[in-house]
Amino acid sequence: MELHADYSSDARAATAQTVRPLTVLGLETSCDETAASVVRLTRSDKGGRAEVLSSVVHSQIDDHAAYGGVVPEIAARSHVEMIAGVTRRAMDQAGLGYEGLDGVAATAGPGLVGGVMVGLGFGKAVSLARGLPLIAVNHLEGHAVSARLGAEIAYPFLLLLVSGGHCQLLEVRGIGEVSRLGATIDDAAGEAFDKIAKALGLGYPGGPALERLAASGDPARYELPRALLGRKDCDFSFSGLKTAAFRIAQTCETDRDKADLAAAVQAAIARQLAERSERAMQAYAERFEVLKQPSAAREALGSGKLFVVAGGVAANRTIRATLEGVAARLGFDFLAPPMAYCTDNAAMIALAGAERLALGLTSDIDAPARPRWPLDEARALSDPSHRPGRKGAKA
């Protein structure tokens, strides 16, 4: 197995146009879902059409509910128990034997390392036993390509990746070609949803529960602080909002109080995501003609500017609608993955793996599990507003 990291964009485009479909098994175990999926990528000058042959997701929600959040040790053990059966179901549903695969892709980070090791180790075993190329996939790259599971879209695009662990704006020029325009300096948006939901006595995970409660609330009743008001960049901060919401939650007595607070929180998060996305769209639009240049295939497409939102929080309808409105106002097409591929799943890992395989970007069998693995490593290290911390940059 070899690593070709220096493919030029034109070489990538040429490769993508000439080769047969690729069928890849994907494995995802970085948090509290054990997932396996088989995806077939038929390449085209638009970047490729993805067909999901199967997608099995075993959620561990019941294992963690009593603790109000994911317990890493319980998660890792559950992945060990589930991974073989979940993979078998994914292969059965796809109607394939291992000889029908071209490669096996597994999340190699970032995430809870005990879980990552289970899926990556299982993927390595399949790779060795069946003589299949291994593709170690960055979980964030999986989210980045997830919108391609529902529609054929070409690179480049602007991405808001907003989940339980991450909140970033990224310029995605292709697989492995990502620049970060902004990121949270404290909590991720999904984390804020989860923690505030917990303070309101809602179950885990809190995002969907808070969205349901917010539907009957008045978002204007409680005033919540706006973050980083003096700054003009694309960074996010949710800790002030979280603290203020905690304080108000302690005063909530009736269901109406709680619904009003939930609605105010959801509106405040949506507003911040919209404001930063608008700034990023403005910056991206200025660079767009330049971004289209590197490949003749991209130019031939004449594609419009595209804004994609992905990750678990993209399942929130208010947030989707708010972002869609901003995109329309700034002349961007808008796309979110199908709901099933917003939260963690293995189809997005299989697709990222297939796209990597198409470019010859396979991994060595000793590929490490990485608890921290930024997509834009250079920016994560250089930007002082995102201190890497004791163990290095997280994402």
- Residue 163 in the binding site for Zn ion (CB under 5 A): yes
Q: Which of 142, 174, 312, 337 binds ligand KG4 (CB under 6 A)?
A: 312
Output the smallest distance, CB 100 to ligand KG4, in A: 28
Output the smallest distance, CB 244 to Zn ion, in A: 27
| Sign of the dihedral through C-alpha 284, 288, 292, 298 | positive
- Residue 344 in the binding site for ligand KG4 (CB under 6 A): yes
Cα separation, 8 vs 31, in Å, equals 34
Output the smallest distance, CB 184 to ligand KG4, in A: 12
Q: Which CA distances in Å does 105 have to 326, 357, 366?
A: 35, 9, 14
295 contact, one of Zn ion, ligand KG4, none, CB 5-8 Å limit per kind: none
- Residue 26 in the binding site for ligand KG4 (CB under 6 A): no
Cα separation, 142 vs 172, in Å, equals 12
User: Of the ranges 38-46, 81-89, 147-155, 158-166, which one interacts with ligand KG4 (CB under 6 A)?
Assistant: 158-166
Q: Is the bond into 294 cis (omega within 30 degrees of 0)?
A: no
For ligand KG4, give the closer residue by CB, 294 or 374.
Answer: 374
Output the smallest distance, CB 143 to Zn ion, in A: 6
- Residue 355 in the binding site for ligand KG4 (CB under 6 A): no
Q: Which of residues 171-210 bind ligand KG4 (CB under 6 A)?
A: 190, 193-194, 205-208
Output the smallest distance, CB 192 to ligand KG4, in A: 8
Burial class (CB in 10 A: 0-12, 13-18, 19+), 71: middle
Between strands 103-109 and 134-138, the pairing is parallel
- Residue 316 in the binding site for ligand KG4 (CB under 6 A): yes
Q: Which of 344, 347, 359, 362 binds Zn ion (CB under 5 A)?
A: 344
Of 192, 200, 342, 341, the C-alpha closest to 273 is: 192
For ligand KG4, give the closer residue by CB, 75 or 132.
Answer: 75
User: Of the ranges 3-11, 161-169, 253-261, 298-306, which one interacts with Zn ion (CB under 5 A)?
Assistant: 161-169
Of 195, 169, 166, the C-alpha closest to 311 is: 166
- Residue 311 in the binding site for ligand KG4 (CB under 6 A): yes
- Residue 315 in the binding site for ligand KG4 (CB under 6 A): yes
Cα separation, 242 vs 359, in Å, equals 43
Burial class (CB in 10 A: 0-12, 13-18, 19+), 106: buried
Q: What is the CA radius of gyration of the chain?
A: 21
Q: How many residues does the chain have?
A: 395
For ligand KG4, give the closer residue by CB, 61 or 365.
Answer: 61
User: Of the ranges 160-168, 228-236, 351-359, 373-381, which one interacts with ligand KG4 (CB under 6 A)?
Assistant: 160-168
- Residue 141 in the binding site for Zn ion (CB under 5 A): no
Of 339, 347, 301, the C-alpha closest to 93 is: 347
Which residues of the chain form contacts with ligand KG4 (CB under 6 A)?
31, 163-165, 190, 193-194, 205-208, 211, 311-313, 315-316, 343-344
